Structure 1
Amino acid sequence: MFLTDKMRAIVKHHAGFGAKLEMVDIPEIGENEVLIKVKATSICGTDVHIYTWDEWSQSRVKPPYVFGHEFSGVVEKIGSAVLNVSVGDHVSAETHIVCHRCPQCLKGQYHICKETKIIGVDTNGCFAEYVALPAENIWKNHKSMPFEAASIQEPMGNAVHTVLAGDVAGLSVAVIGCGPIGVMAVGVAKAAGAAQVIAIDLNEYRLNLAKNLGATAVINPKDTDPVQAVLDLTDGNGVDVICEMSGHPAAIDQGFKIVTNGGRVSILSLPVKPVEIDITNDIVFKGVTVQGITGRKMFETWQQVSGLLKAGQMNTDAIITHTLPLEEFEKGFDLMMKGQCGKVVLLP
């Protein structure tokens, strides 16, 4: 099938900063797996953690291996037992590989499987010309969808899961942290009918992206007190929904102070250390609902993402700010580390 049994891949080659473009073996597939020719793959914040070799990645990742988990591509080969996917299908993939045996899986809550393995974190990933995955993780894309847009469905699913974990239509929403997923959350909230979408971030570049995705107001805490600014924008009531994407302890505390009584705080961010909040006054007495958000509901969230994209409700051109060849991955990671980008897509 192949002229060579090797492929180009970005390898986390050592326990330290950076990565290397190397020639590695094209993966073999089992009877329940699919081999995909990767057409586009995007850089996630998790990939940046691995690239910079922070405390989280040191405790989780075991180099050397191919990382990356957001992609789109074309099915090149299927295993003998695969029935749901055909050669030539345009696909992306759910990145959580679940056990189907734990109590959560048995209740259909696959997104919180206790034995989850993540593609590109715990297994070889998609920063490569080919990737092998379980067929059950495959999501078929319409062939009219550009590969670049299809590659960001997985992180968009995080935004959709966070925003739509409760009602937003006609309500006020604050997105705290406007990295790529936060920016997408702004767009999702607007598409879902939020009356007010307030974006909060220290980065002016990303606040401008939030404006392009429909934010009705943007707040930079360097310029103004975000708590007072939000209260001013909401007639002193605070916002109905907080989508916490920053992971910064001070920002998280501020989020609980600006949520209104009976409001919802959905937290996707991953603070690297314990966060101090006033539970008595900012949660209990307010009657606030607090939700931890992980991954995407399998596959309810994927259906929602696909529907939003098909309906033209998400401006992917505003989300994807840079497209680079795979060999220029260092430039892409540099943009991500500096916060001077939305989604960065690499083309193998």
Structure 2
Amino acid sequence: MDFPAGPADSRDVKALVKTAAGPGLELTEVPDPRPGDNDVLIRVLRTGICGTDLHIESWDDWAAGVVRAPLVLGHEFVGEVVAVGSGVTRAQPGDLVSGEGHLVCGSCRNCMAGRRHLCARTVGLGVHTDGAFAELVALPESNVWVHRQPVDLDVAAIFDPFGNAVHTALSFPVLNEDVLITGAGPIGIMAAAVARHAGARHVVITDVSDYRLELARKVGVSLALDVRTTSIEEAQRTLGMKEGFDVGLEMSGRPEPLRDMIANMTHGGRIAVLGLPTDDIPIDMAKVVTHMLTIKGIYGREMYETWYAMSVLLQGGLDISPVITDRFGFEQHAEAFAAARSGRCGKVVIDWTRPTLPTSQPTGA
């Protein structure tokens, strides 16, 4: 972001930076952000590693086509407000905050209608502009979510992907419904927890990773299904289901799970798709038509209804902490990224208040 001149005590801060085109990241010092009148300056406490960050770190074709180095990565974070601009009215120094990573234009048709999550000119924090993998980050006040109730710092650090899970899981009513989730990554597992908390009768999640299926069992799914050995049809019989699933949440971005989901939906079933495929996916369109299925794409979070829902769900007893499996200090960023890339993890959190943590450090400390 291009901020106006900053405070007199401006200094360099540590940040995790894509310094040049190519694989890798560097922990280095960058000038501190220079917030404007409507911005909030935040001391970062914890950050979460997202799949987007992995793409940028490895510098795959997508990253090479979208990202311009140098860039400070990161969009999942929690921090403490240290200063506010003269136009800021809701946040104040000392507030604990998370941030909405989609920076919208505010003037397009959807923004003007209050549908900011549909802004056609969205800019991604940590993708198109410097992000939160740093000691300090500045955000427009309109992108700051103030935590008004106590919240675990690890959980607050992953409000961004938690929001993806909530947006997807609550796109259709799930009370008393049978819900199928394809893809037991961290967002899929959180969506399963939300659906169960919101009153779904059966919640079935599928994957091919024993590790992640076991994580899913910790949040109380009805069945965590390894589709290499058991079909979704068999799962229906096990649960005594007769007509298919009412709601589907596709989280994998893979063709086979979406096709299996369509094949196992009830007539009039509704599917929310968050998983982003890398290639075209052929589907049985005849079944979509004759079974009158609804397929809805999901991107990001509704601003800020989803954020409100997240806070209320946690206040109501929803526990997503099992999805957070690994924590590292900021100097251990290489190990953190390796853990996130391994697949044998849930969410990986980096602590920006401590350079290193013991490898056995429990979450929530």
TM bracket (short chain) = over 0.9
**Helix, strand or coil at the partner of 1:160:** helix
Q: Which amino acid is 1:210 matched to?
A: A
Partner of 1:286: 291
The residue that corresponds to 2:93 in the other structure is 87
Q: Distance in 1 between matches of 2:228 and 2:20?
A: 37
Superposed, which structure 2 residues align to 1:260-271 within 5 Å? 260-271=266-277
Matched residue of 2:92: which SS?
A: coil
Q: Distance in 2 between matches of 1:98 and 1:225?
A: 42
Q: Does 1:74 align with 2:80?
A: yes
1:204 Cα offset (Å) = 0.8
CA-based RMSD of the aligned residues comes to 1.6
Matched, 1:301 2:306: yes
Q: What is aligned with 1:212?
A: 218
Choose from 255, 258, 270 the match for 1:252.
258
Structure 1 residues 228 and 277: alpha-carbon distance in aligned structure 2, compared to 1, 3 A threshold:
farther
Q: Which moved more, 1:165-174 or 1:233-242?
A: 233-242
Write the distance in 2 (CA, Å) between the matches of 1:331 and 1:126: 18
Aligned to 1:136: 142
Match of 1:124 in 2: 130
Q: What is the Cα deviation at residue 3 of structure 1?
A: 7.6
Please list every run of 5 or more consecutive structure 1 residues that lacks an aligned counterpart in the other structure.
none
Report what 2:315 is aligned to: 310
1:36 correspondence with 2:42? yes
Determine the C-alpha separation between the residues in 1 that align with 2:155 and 2:189.
Answer: 15
What is the TM-score when the length of structure 2 is the normalising length?
0.91
Cα deviations across residues 200-221 of structure 1 (Å, max 9, x unaligned)? Answer: 0111111011100111101112
Q: Which amino acid aligns with 2:61?
A: E
Residue 15 of structure 1: CA displacement? 2.1
CA distance in 1, matches of 2:123, 2:236: 39
Distance 1:263 1:275 in 2: 19
Question: Which stretch of the first structure deviates more once superposed, 287-296 or 218-227?
Answer: 218-227
Q: Please give the secondary structure, in 1, of the residue aligned with 2:259.
A: helix
Give the one of 317, 339, 342 matched to 2:346. Answer: 342
Task: Tell me the CA shift for residue 229 of structure 1.
Answer: 3.5
CA contact (8 A) 1:188 1:314 kept: no
In structure 1, C-alpha distance between the alignment counterparts of 2:228 and 2:25, rounded to whole Å: 34
Structure 2 CA distance for partners of 1:100 and 1:234, relative to 1, 3 Å:
farther
1:154 to 160, 164, 174: 160
Residue from 4, 8, 13 that aligns with 2:14:
8
Cα displacement (A) at 1:231: 5.7
The aligned amino acid for 1:296 is R
Which residue pairs with 2:23 in the alignment?
17
In structure 1, the residue matched to 2:170 is 164
Query: Identity across aligned pairs (percent)?
Result: 41
Per-residue CA deviations over 1:28-65 (Å, capped at 9, x if unaligned) read: 11111111000111111111121222222222111111
Structure 1 partner of 2:361: none
Find the counterpart in structure 2 of residue 276 from structure 1.
282
Partner of 2:323: 319
Contact 1:220 1:226 in 2 (8 A): no
Q: Separation in 2 of the partners of 1:101 and 1:3?
A: 34
1:328 matched to 2:340: no
Paired residues, number: 346
Rounded to whole Å, the distance in 1 between the matches of 2:231 and 2:163 is 31
Inter-CA distance 344–199: structure 2 relative to 1 (3 Å threshold): same
Distance 1:60 1:193, change over 3 A: same
1:223 aligns with 2:229: yes
Kindly provide the CA deviation profile for residues 154-177 of structure 1, in whole angstroms up to 9, marking residues without a partner as x: 111100000101110101111111
Partners of 2:190 and 2:320 within 8 A in 1: no
In the alignment, residue 252 of structure 1 is paired with which amino acid? L
Structure 2 unaligned regions, length at least 5: 1-6, 353-365
